[in-house]
């Protein structure tokens, strides 16, 4: 069975603080893909990153960075120097290569960045 757990339901920070969103996954597939999506109040999902299971290199994109650790089945997302525009719900998702492309989403973490 596949499962994604985002234990943090809500996080509130003050602008310019760093914040890390946790994601822990479970899968029996040896090849799989991990994703992060942002969902602003408008509802449209914004793709942030895709990582395959063979690539454990950390990724940095501007103020965003991702830490993928297979040993702990985690794929955490850090926003550095958070801004009000980062306020949204963030979803971590998993897709096993043998699952027909189905995406299994975590429960989501609602991030609120206050000025």
Partner 1 sequence: GAVVSQHPSWVICKSGTSVKIECRSLDFQATTMFWYRQFPKQSLMLMATSNEGSKATYEQGVEKDKFLINHASLTLSTLTVTSAHPEDSSFYICSAREGKAGYNEQFFGPGTRLTVL
Q: How would you label 28-51 residue by residue, b for 16+ Cβ within 10 Å and e otherwise? A: eeeebbbbbbbeeeeeeeeebbeb
Residue 36 touches partner 1, criterion: CB under 8 A: no
Q: What x/- string results for residues 62 through 81 when contact with partner 1 is judged by CB under 8 A?
A: --------------------
**From the CB of 34, what's the least distance to partner 1, in Å?**
12
Query: Of 18-26, 59-67, 76-84, 92-100, which part binds partner 1 (CB under 8 A)?
Result: 92-100
Shortest Å, Cβ 7 to partner 1:
13
Examine residue 98 and tell whether it contacts partner 1 (CB under 8 A).
yes
CA distances from 63 to 53, 70, 83, 101, 102 (A): 23, 23, 10, 29, 29
Asked if 96 interacts with partner 1 (CB under 8 A), we say: yes
φ/ψ of 43, rounded to 5, equals 100, -20
Q: Where are the alpha helices (DSSP H) in 1-114?
A: none
User: Binding-site residue total for partner 1 (CB under 8 A)?
Assistant: 24
What angle is formed at CA 55 by the lines to CA 61 and CA 90, rounded to 5 degrees?
A: 50
Confirm if 78 and 86 have CB atoms less than 8 A apart.
no
**In whole angstroms, how close is the CB of 85 to partner 1 at the nearest point?**
19
- Which chain residues interact with partner 1 by CB under 8 A? 33, 37, 42-45, 47, 50, 52, 91, 95-108
């Amino acid at each position: 069975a596949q499962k994604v757990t985002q234990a943090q339901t809500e996080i509130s920070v003050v602008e310019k603080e760093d914040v890390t969103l946790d994601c822990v996954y479970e899968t029996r597939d040896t090849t799989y893909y991990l994703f992060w999506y942002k969902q602003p109040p408008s509802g449209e999902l914004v793709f942030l990153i895709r990582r395959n299971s063979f690539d454990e290199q950390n990724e940095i994109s501007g103020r965003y960075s991702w830490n993928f650790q297979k040993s702990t089945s985690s794929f955490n997302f850090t926003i550095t120097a958070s801004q009000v525009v980062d306020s949204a719900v963030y979803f971590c998702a998993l897709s096993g290569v043998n699952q027909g492309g189905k995406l299994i989403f975590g429960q989501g973490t609602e991030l609120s960045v206050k000025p």
